[in-house]
Structure 1
Amino acid sequence: MKPFLERLALPDGASWATLNRRLDGEIPFQWHHHPEFELTLTLNSRGQRFIGDHIGSYDDGDLVLVGPNLPHSWCSAAKVEEAAPHVALVMWFLPQWTAPLGSVFTELRAVAAMLARAKTGLKFSGAAAAGARPLIEALFALPPDERLIQLLHVLARLARDADAVPLASPLAVADDRPMDRGRIDRVLDHVHRHFAERLTLDGLADIAALSPSGLHRLFLRHTGQSVMGYLERLRIGAACALLSGGTRPIAMIADEVGYDSLANFNRQFKAQRGVTPRQYRQRFRMDG
Structure 2
Amino acid sequence: MKPFLERLALPDGASWATLNRRLDGEIPFQWHHHPEFELTMTLNSRGQRFIGDHIGNYDDGDLVLVGPNLPHSWCSAAKVEETAPHVALVMWFLPQWAAPIGGVFTELRAVAAMLERARTGLKFSDTAAAEARPLIEALFGLPPDERLIQLLRVLALLSRDAGAEPLASPLAVAADQPANRGRIDRVLDHVHRRYAEKLSLEALADIAALSPSGLHRLFLRHTGQSVTGYLARLRIGAACALLSGGDRPIATIAADVGYDSLANFNRQFKAQRAVTPRQYRQRFRVGG
Q: TM-score range with shorter-chain normalisation?
A: over 0.9
The letter for the 2-side match of 1:24 is D
Identity %: 88
Gaps spanning 5+ residues in structure 1: where? none
The letter for the 2-side match of 1:61 is G
Distance 1:228 1:172 in 2: 18
Distance 1:249 1:174 in 2: 42
Q: Indicate yes or no: 2:239 matched with 1:239.
A: yes
What is the CA-CA distance between 1:173 and the residue it aligns to? 4.2
Corresponding residue pairs, total: 288
Structure 1 residues 223-234: aligned runs within 5 Å: 223-234=223-234
What is the CA-CA distance between 1:54 and the residue it aligns to? 0.4
The letter for the 1-side match of 2:205 is A
Distance 2:46 2:189 in 1: 22
Partner of 2:149: 149
Q: Which runs of 4+ in 1 moved over 6 A?
A: none
> CA-atom RMSD, angstroms?
0.8
Task: Return closer, same or farther for 1:227/1:174 CA change in 2, 3 Å cut-off.
Answer: farther
What is the CA-CA distance between 1:95 and the residue it aligns to? 0.9
Structure 1 residues 1-288: aligned runs within 5 Å: 1-287=1-287
Whether the aligned pair in 1 keeps the contact of 2:69 and 2:173 (CA below 8 Å) is: no
Distance 1:237 1:118 in 2: 19
Task: Return closer, same or farther for 1:174/1:231 CA change in 2, 3 Å cut-off.
Answer: farther
Gaps spanning 5+ residues in structure 2: where? none
Distance 2:3 2:134 in 1: 32
What is the CA-CA distance between 1:97 and the residue it aligns to? 2.9
Whether the aligned pair in 1 keeps the contact of 2:68 and 2:173 (CA below 8 Å) is: no
Task: Return closer, same or farther for 1:104/1:112 CA change in 2, 3 Å cut-off.
Answer: same
Distance 2:92 2:98 in 1: 11
Distance 2:99 2:12 in 1: 22
What is the CA-CA distance between 1:174 and the residue it aligns to? 3.8
Whether the aligned pair in 2 keeps the contact of 1:175 and 1:221 (CA below 8 Å) is: no
Distance 1:226 1:140 in 2: 42
Q: Secondary structure of the equivalent of 1:287?
A: coil
The letter for the 2-side match of 1:87 is V
